[in-house]
Amino acid sequence: MTRSALERAGIKSRTDGIADRARRIVVSPIKEIAILAAEIPDVIPFAWGIPFVDTPPHIREALKKALDEDHLLGRYSPSAGLPVLKQALAARLAKKFGIEVNWKTELLVTAGAMEGLMDAMQCTINPGDEVIITSPGFSSYTEQVMLAGGVPKYLPLDENKDWAMRLEELPKLITPKTRAIIINSPCNPTGSIFSQQELDAIADAVLKHNLILITDEPYDFLLFDGTKLSTLVADDRLRKNRISCFSFSKEYAMTGYRVGYVFAEEGMIRQMMKVHDAFIVSAPRPSQVAALAAINGPQACVEELRKTLQDRRDRLCSHLDRMKKWFSYVKPRGTYYCFVKFQDGSADDVQLALDILNGAHISVVPGSAFGPEGKGHLRICFGCTIPEIDEGMGRLENWLKKAYP
């Protein structure tokens, strides 16, 4: 059966004249649902991971000023990024993780973490190589691995243990074809946070088999209830094996700016530069100026956003607790996603998400988009406002009462 929600909704794509690499993949079901939702008026958006807050004023002001005063703003930037931004990023990584980063050779400014991930995979995966990703895990990894000619292999997470990694499965997944492991913590879509013990087990496997570790860090600021971040970004043993992809999208509510950065060792960055240049030449210069303002400016906005999202999580969970007849879930400890199981987990989640969209006018993402363990689940993003959460969950409950009495 197709992985595409658009195809399931009857929208077919052309196939003649289209290369296998494009035919094999789908638009990430997160965006597929958003595309379908755009056709229906009044849909409450629980699908796409967007923090529904404005970009902080100091970032917008800096961009306005640059539009008026920086005559270079409309030009390409140096391909690896503006030197002044890279210097600030190196200082930021030093402060946050206590690591030394050579801003000239070990950083690449990208069009979001997404481009960093793409560059990383294009640089390291040969056709037929296997790449381990968690299941559930971010849906775009599957498409990016496949675009590079690789084969995704899923490391299952255990819903009964707060979505911890089933590490006993890891040795069985590693074969002579294994090339890379992708880790994302806090994890989209589960909202779980991997422990240092789990991450260290991944690091050990990476080093033992000389694999590439790709860490994807867009939510490294977004932890709830005082939970502390465990990370592999600061593990010096991994210096040669690791590519870390960071983002401004969520932390500074800058999803539309499309800016992020990669930290990796010099030789890897040099290779990634080639792919980066071939794809986009340089990250948008206005967005780099805004990114610099984001990290050099007041940081209270980050904590404010974190608190806002924690409140939104609590509100969503209070609704879900009322709907125990239909949903069970692990309370998210990070990100802004809640990954809920519908009834006994045997439902066709793609059909369920489409039915909910058409029947309740709320958009949620089918869980199977995130790997085999996501079957029968839905991802609900609580980036939207509390009134929207109240309205959307009310609609969902009313719809469920009729559809699944």
Can you give the binding site for ligand PLP, defined by CB under 6 A? Answer: 49, 112-114, 138, 184, 188, 216, 218, 247, 249, 255, 260
Measure the CA angle with vertex 135, ends 11 and 208; round to 5°. 135
**CB of 262 vs ligand PLP, minimal distance in Å:** 11
What's the one-letter identity of residue 334? G
137 vs 376 by CB, closer to ligand PLP:
137
Rounded-to-integer distance, Cα 329 and Cα 317, Å? 9
d(CA 16, CA 82) in angstroms, rounded, equals 42
Max distance between CA atoms of the chain, in angstroms, equals 63
Which CB atom, from 82 or from 259, has the smaller least distance to ligand PLP?
259
Q: Which is nearer to ligand PLP, 156 or 360 (CB)?
A: 156
CA–CA gap between residue 150 and residue 143 (Å, rounded)? 10
- Contact of 75 with 56, CB cutoff 8 Å: no
Distance between CA atoms of residues 362 and 221, nearest Å: 28
Smallest distance from the beta carbon of 405 to ligand PLP, in angstroms? 35
Amino acid at 240: K
Pairing of strands 178-184, 212-216: parallel
Closer CB to ligand PLP, residue 238 or residue 365?
Answer: 365
Q: Is 365 helix (H, G, I), strand (E, B) or coil?
A: strand
Could you give the CA distance from residue 108 to residue 260 in angstroms, rounded to a whole number? 9
**Residues 105, 191: Cα–Cα separation, whole Å:** 33
Could you list the beta-strand ranges (E) of 31-143. 44-45, 107-110, 130-135
The distance of closest approach from Cβ of residue 187 to ligand PLP in the complex, given in angstroms and rounded to an integer, is 8
Dihedrals φ, ψ of 97, to 5°? -115, -5
Residue closest to 81 by CA, chosen among 105, 59, 55: 105
Task: Report the residue closest to ligand PLP, judged by CB.
Answer: 112
Q: How far is the CB of 113 from ligand PLP (least distance, A)?
A: 4
Minimum separation from the CB atom of position 326 to ligand PLP (A) = 25
**Smallest separation (angstroms) from ligand PLP to the CB of 100:** 24
275: exposed, middle or buried (Cβ count in 10 Å: 0-12, 13-18, 19+): middle
Q: Name 113's Cβ contacts closer than 8 Å, sequence gap at least 6.
A: 216, 217, 218, 245, 246, 247, 249, 260
Cβ 175 to ligand PLP, closest distance in Å?
Answer: 25
Q: Starting from the edge strand earliest in sequence, which strands make up the sheet with 151-158, in order? A: 107-110, 260-264, 242-247, 212-216, 178-184, 130-135, 151-158, 164-165
Smallest separation (angstroms) from ligand PLP to the CB of 190: 11
Least distance from ligand PLP to the Cβ atom of residue 280, Å: 12
Minimum gap (Å) between residue 155 Cβ and ligand PLP: 15
Distances (CA, A) of 10 to 36, 224, 354: 11, 40, 12
The residue among 260 and 334 lying less far from ligand PLP, judged by its C-beta, is 260
Rank residues 89 and 400 by Cβ distance to ligand PLP and give the closer one. Answer: 89
